[in-house]
Amino acid sequence: MSSSQNKLVSKFFVGVDLGKSQDYTAIAVIEEQSPPSEYEADKKQKKYQIRYLDRPPLGTSYIEVGNIVARLMARPPLSVDTPLIVDATGVGTPVVDMLRELELTPIAITITGGNEVSRGGRAYSVPKIHLITNLQILFESDGRLKIASRLPLSSVFLNELSNYRFKITPQAHLTFDPRADSSHDDLILSVALPLWYAQHGVLSWRPLRISWDDEESPKDGGFFVPNR
C-alpha cells in the first residue's frame, strides 16, 4: 500500500472514569480515524480505535490519578490539542478542579439517569444510556470501533461489555447496568465518555495527519501501554 493511501486524518481523545470507594478508576485513549477527503463528511464515515486502557490499583489516590493523567497527556501525540473528558459525577468535580491545577483543560461530563443532554461551557450532563448505546452502536456497526487484543485489559473490557444488560427502573426509565455478578463498568465508561464527546460534543480542534508504517498500522491495535 502506498504512503498516500496509508495516511489517515486522526484525532485522539482521552477518557477518565473516576472510581468511588471500591470501584476502579479507568483511563482510555481513543483514536478517531478517517481518510482526509472524508474528515468533514458524515460522522458515520469515522472509525475509532481503543489505543490504551489503564486501571490503577484500587486505593490509588485521586492525586496520583491526576499525576498519571498529566503524564499521559504530556506524551506525543496526546500533547497536541487532545480533549480530556472526565467523569464529573459525585467525587469527580474536585478531581476536575485538581486536573485544572495541573494545567490540563478537562471537559467534565456528569452522568445522569435521565434522557436529556445539557451543556454549560466545558461541562455536560449526559444520560448514561446515551453513553452506553453510542458505544454499542459503534462497536456493532461493521467495525467502526475496534480494540486491540494485545492491550492488557482488552479481555476485561470485552467482559464488562458482554455483562451489560437493560433494566427498567420503577420510574419506567430504561437504563444500562452491569449484572450483579459483574459489578464493574469502569473500563466501559472510560471508553464511552470520549466516544460520546467525539460524536456529539462541541469540538474545537485540528486533525493530525499521521502516516502509519506496517509495524504500527491501526489494524494492529494499541501503541500506548501504561507506563507509570
Residue 112 near residue 173, CB atoms below 8 Å: no
Give the up-direction half-sphere exposure of residue 215: CA atoms within 13 A in the CB hemisphere: 0
CATH-assigned architecture of domain 3-220: 2-Layer Sandwich (3.30)
How much is the average pLDDT of 168-177? Answer: 55
Instruction: Provide the pLDDT confidence category of residue 94 given band limits of 50, 70 and 90.
Output: confident
pLDDT of the residue at 204: 42
Each domain of the chain, given as residue ranges in start order, spans 3-220
Higher-confidence position of 218 and 186: 186
DSSP 8-state class, residue 4: H
CA–CA dist 55, 77 (Å, integer): 21
How much is the average pLDDT of 179-202? Answer: 82
Which secondary structure element, helix H or strand E, spans residue 62, and what is its range? helix 62-73
| pLDDT above 80 for 64 | yes
pLDDT of the residue at 2: 43
By C-alpha distance, which of 37, 16, 162 is closest to 83?
A: 16
Q: Is the dihedral of CA 60, 63, 64, 68 positive or negative?
A: positive
By C-alpha distance, which of 179, 159, 175 is closest to 167?
A: 175
Q: Any idea which of 89-98, 100-109, 184-193 has the lowest mean pLDDT?
A: 89-98
Q: Any idea which of 63-77, 89-103, 159-173 has the lowest mean pLDDT?
A: 159-173
Higher-confidence position of 100 and 205: 100
C-alpha cell at 7: 495516511
Residue 110 near residue 126, CB atoms below 8 Å: yes
Kindly give, in sequence order, each residue whose CB lies less than 8 Å from that of residue 28, ignoring residues fewer than 6 positions away. 14, 15, 16, 50, 52, 53, 54, 187, 190, 191, 194
CA–CA dist 12, 48 (Å, integer): 9
| pLDDT above 80 for 42 | no
Number of H helices, E strands in the chain: 6, 11
| pLDDT above 80 for 176 | no
Instruction: Provide the pLDDT confidence category of residue 143 given band limits of 50, 70 and 90.
Output: confident
pLDDT of the residue at 139: 84
Size of the chain in residues: 228
How much is the average pLDDT of 30-36? Answer: 83
Q: Any idea which of 25-34, 91-100, 180-189, 217-226 has the lowest mean pLDDT?
A: 217-226
DSSP for 90-141, written as a single string:
TTHHHHHHHHHHTT--EEEEEEESSS--EEETTEEEEEHHHHHHHHHHHHHS
pLDDT of the residue at 1: 41
Kindly give, in sequence order, each residue whose CB lies less than 8 Å from that of residue 43, ignoring residues fewer than 6 positions away. 199
pLDDT of the residue at 136: 86
| pLDDT above 50 for 3 | no
